[in-house]
Amino acid sequence: MKTMKQNETQNLILMDSISYHYPGTDQYVFRDFSAVFPTAGRTAVLARSGSGKTTLLHLLAGLLTPTGGVIHYPSGAQKPPAFSMVFQENRLLEYRSVLKNVKLTAGNTTDAVIANTLDRAGLTPYRNKKISALSGGEKRRCAIVRALLADYDMLLLDEPFTGLDSSTKTVMMELVKESAGQKGILLVTHDESEAAFFSCDILRL
């Protein structure tokens, strides 16, 4: 990766010669991998299953530590960008309500905004139901809403619309697009139409 001047890296995350293998194995997911992600831009990562797309998101978010190389966060910033993430698994608290799950990450978001977002996602009838009582699609919508209502600089989406029927998927994609506004999005997907919807630059692994 070429050396960049500081003013060129103020809004970029640089993955510089990253290597990673899972503990206890010698099989590398990445070896000397480099990429650039604009914190206010939109990038879609497309690749076949098993290519390391999820690992890439976890490395960026700091959930995994590279075994080689360095991740440079925007220079001049006081701290790394705040990430909000929709994981492949919903990672909801099954025996708490939809509303309580959402409020866990909503910070200072007002009740009115929470209520409106739940309504946009079609979750108002379920707001007081436990997650364990919901269908797979309802859980997925709740996981997306929770991520959108967190305080973040960049949204990491790991195949976020999996399991949604076509009409619900359209609603949720529009909600994500509107809620994210000018904030950065990094989308992992198998579907190029999703990348096109969010006007993403495409990175193929």
> Mean pLDDT, the chain, as a whole number?
90
> For residue 193, is pLDDT > 70?
yes
Say if residues 84 and 150 touch (Cβ distance below 8 Å): yes
Condensed to tens digits (0 to 9), the pLDDT of residues 164-174 reads 999 999 999 99
> For residue 9, is pLDDT > 70?
no
Q: What is the pLDDT of residue 48?
A: 79
Q: What is the pLDDT of residue 75?
A: 67
- Mapped onto helix, strand or coil, the DSSP state of residue 195 is helix
Condensed to tens digits (0 to 9), the pLDDT of residues 121-159 reads 999 999 999 999 999 999 999 999 999 999 999 999 999
User: Measured between alpha carbons, how far is 91 from 158 in angstroms, rounded to an integer?
Assistant: 12
